[in-house]
Amino acid sequence: MATFKCKSCGETKDGRCKPKECPKCGETGSMEKEGSSGCGCKCSS
Ligand SMILES: [Zn+2]
């Protein structure tokens, strides 16, 4: 499990994979992984 944070609005979301878009503000590509733990899958792009 990793935490992703929106660099646009600051919304955080837990998940295995990086969200395509922010669930709060809808900004595409704004979610960045927070912390150091990897998600263990190949969804980094
Ligand atoms: Zn956002």
What is the DSSP annotation of 8-36?
TT--EEEESS--SB-TTT--BT-EEEESS
Mean pLDDT of the chain: 85
pLDDT confidence bin for 12, thresholds 50/70/90: very high
pLDDT in tens, 28-45: 999 998 865 555 666 654
pLDDT confidence bin for 4, thresholds 50/70/90: very high
Ligand 1 centroid distance, CA of 34 (Å):
14
Tokens of 15: 């998940």
One-letter identity of residue 24: K
Contacts of 33 (CB under 8 A, 6+ apart): 2, 3, 4, 5, 18, 39
Ligand 1 centroid distance, CA of 24 (Å):
5
